[in-house]
């Protein structure tokens, strides 16, 4: 194997590894996205990585999802200019590292 072939293989792995290793987390597990559920307890002990997805399942028209930071989650408030996700099968990709607070 030549050096250029090895470089191409390593570059391909570096490019595609995050999506291959990504995990889909169904928020709320089998309960899905609903009211009267302890999502802090659900998230406890989970480590999320760049490339992972948060999947929000709920009956379309019954709920919605807003992208918020940690403070918005704690206060149950979304920025004024945010647009709700309403498909009932919403996916939020964790595209950046760091604590979302």
Q: Is residue 31 part of a domain?
A: yes
Taking CA atoms, 11 is separated from 2, 3, 8, 90, in Å, by 14, 12, 5, 31
Per-residue pLDDT at 90 = 98
Domain carrying residue 85: 22-93
**What does pTM read for this prediction?**
0.75
Per-residue pLDDT at 16 = 56
How far is residue 95's CA from residue 92's CA, in Å, rounded to a whole number? 9
Per-residue pLDDT at 73 = 84
Per-residue pLDDT at 15 = 59
Q: For position 35, which CATH number holds? A: 2.60.40.420
Q: Is residue 101 part of a domain?
A: no
Q: Is residue 77 part of a domain?
A: yes
Number of Cβ within 10 Å of residue 85's Cβ equals 17
Q: Is residue 14 part of a domain?
A: no
Q: Is residue 52 part of a domain?
A: yes
Q: Is residue 9 part of a domain?
A: no
Per-residue pLDDT at 21 = 73
Per-residue pLDDT at 11 = 63
Q: Is residue 36 part of a domain?
A: yes
Counting the structural domains of the chain, the total is: 1
Per-residue pLDDT at 20 = 60
pLDDT average per 10 residues of sequence, the chain (101 residues)? 69 58 93 94 92 96 91 88 96 84 52
Q: Which two tokens stand for residue 17?
A: 């590894």
Q: Is residue 8 part of a domain?
A: no
């Amino acid at each position: 194997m030549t050096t250029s072939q090895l470089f191409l293989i390593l570059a391909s792995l570096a490019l595609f590894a995050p999506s291959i290793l990504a995990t889909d987390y169904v928020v709320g597990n089998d309960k899905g996205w609903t009211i009267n559920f302890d999502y802090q307890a659900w998230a406890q002990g989970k480590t999320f990585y760049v490339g992972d997805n948060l999947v929000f399942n709920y009956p379309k028209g019954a709920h919605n999802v807003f992208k918020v930071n940690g403070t918005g989650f704690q206060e149950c408030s979304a920025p004024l200019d945010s647009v709700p996700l309403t498909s009932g099968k919403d996916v939020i990709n964790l595209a950046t590292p760091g604590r979302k607070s």
